[in-house]
Structure 1
């Protein structure tokens, strides 16, 4: 019987647990590519609750759970009591008695924390306004795949130590989570946002704080990219902020990741984007469709790392 553990933000796991997860994700992905069945979660059920629309989160969790031998219940706030003013606490107590694992994609982090506090089973953050830990889990795994040890030996997170990630764009849930990951795993993140769209450092730090040498702000996105090993961005207007779209387009005009920014980074720097992307806004087509882009590997890897995460939360470390 494993101890109940939730995954609500990146700092909910430690560096040793991440090293295990990345190693496990590599094995699970290898099995997937070889059509080798891997069914450790037979008779387990994942409940997926969506308050925010989704493509990658739904497909990656749903396909992943089926590939692990389990089953899935899909809920939205529109077709359940969650959308009819039932207290979150009551929903959590009911749903967690009928399923083995819950993934929630919602707006406020407080909602998922209230649900988890009343859940008898592990709860996973599929995205909130504040954090997006599963995406950063996939992004780091993708970096390890491309820049880590090719023989698969050693601690896979070691290849991150001393590296620099440049975040160009909105100080949003992705930026917050990158800051947490950098502090925990020993790399640096350069954040560049327009004035008024900076990250909330207290929010990014969460309950565990952040190390001063892991995070640096740049008003000039070109300087943030200089010498970076990875350049990454996101849409300028996240879900829930659509009313600000026109204002954001003006404010972010100089924060489009272009070939000049990539040229300022390391020659072998990678480009990532959590998708969906708007070519010509937050990134040039020549960058996202260019040779340094690994966005399709990144998207697929959501499924593989989440499979490793679900297995870990339910079964603990598997020999």
Structure 2
């Protein structure tokens, strides 16, 4: 059987993604009921981290433990990857000893190279270009609260970053329209936009983009590796804060999401984050666990 990887949402079909979301909901029920389900007993997930993490590490490590397997934490500080060993060599060695590999790093090309040389499934747990695992959690969260997202309007507010790119892929795979509100100079990848232009509208103010939307999503203005641009970005994104008042212009059933960590008072108001029932950010965060367990099951059990 061909080894399957999950580097972007496009690596699964729309039907597979929808089934995965439904399975994530079921796995959540199984875990919360106290039922023991261990399909990955004696299997090992290698977790390679070149970027720091809270939700990604905890969710994958807890997920493997709950599935009866083991998660092996590897940082670039502690492995030969951090000392210049070719990605190809590391991929061949690590995949010969482990049953799957999860990578959180800067270069998307590095993940692609690793996958091309791996004999086991490789999961992209975030690169500078894409963050598909977060989108699985987001789509699960919307499904649990509002049902099918097909045909709805989603608004992304902020930088055209890796999350924005994954929302563009999600619009294609889950069949919704995506409004993107970003300042000039911070647009998402032009080729990706062009390839999905029938599903995307770009606006220069969040007020225009959010009107009537069913889901509103934002992220920090300066992602990991862009900290030195913080002050410049604060100026560029002035006026792009998502607030409860702004949410009032969305659909009456609209939800607010944020992949976290959040900077209250910058991209989102504290009121919306903490005191507004439309904010489902902590459900969304927990669902990283359940959605990724569904992904691990699909890639690791399905490939046996």
TM bucket (normalised to shorter chain) is: over 0.9
Query: What pairs with 1:237-276 in structure 2 (closer than 5 Å)?
Result: 237-276=222-261
Q: CA RMSD in A?
A: 1.3
Shift of 1:213: 2.6
Corresponding residue for residue 280 of structure 2: 294
Shift of 1:203: 4.1
1:191 aligned onto 2:177: no
Count, aligned residues: 303
Shift of 1:277: 0.3
Q: Where has structure 1 moved over 2 Å in runs of 4 or more?
A: none
Residue segments in structure 2 that go unaligned for 5+ positions in a row = none
For 2:193 and 2:210, how far apart are their aligned partners in 1?
Answer: 21
For 1:32 and 1:112, how far apart are their aligned partners in 2?
Answer: 31
Corresponding residue for residue 154 of structure 1: none
For 2:206 and 2:34, how far apart are their aligned partners in 1?
Answer: 43
TM-score by length of 1: 0.93
Corresponding residue for residue 129 of structure 2: 130
Q: Secondary structure at the match of 1:264?
A: coil
Contact in 2 for aligned 1:189/1:215 (Cα 8 Å): yes
Shift of 1:314: 1.1
Query: What pairs with 1:136-147 in structure 2 (closer than 5 Å)?
Result: 136-147=135-146
Corresponding residue for residue 73 of structure 1: 72
Query: What pairs with 1:1-319 in structure 2 (closer than 5 Å)?
Result: 2-148=1-147, 159-203=148-192, 209-210=195-196, 212-289=197-274, 290-316=276-302
For 1:185 and 1:315, how far apart are their aligned partners in 2?
Answer: 24
For 1:48 and 1:204, how far apart are their aligned partners in 2?
Answer: 31
Shift of 1:201: 2.9
Shift of 1:261: 1.5
Contact in 1 for aligned 2:87/2:110 (Cα 8 Å): yes
Residue segments in structure 1 that go unaligned for 5+ positions in a row = 149-158
For 1:292 and 1:201, how far apart are their aligned partners in 2?
Answer: 32
Contact in 2 for aligned 1:169/1:252 (Cα 8 Å): yes
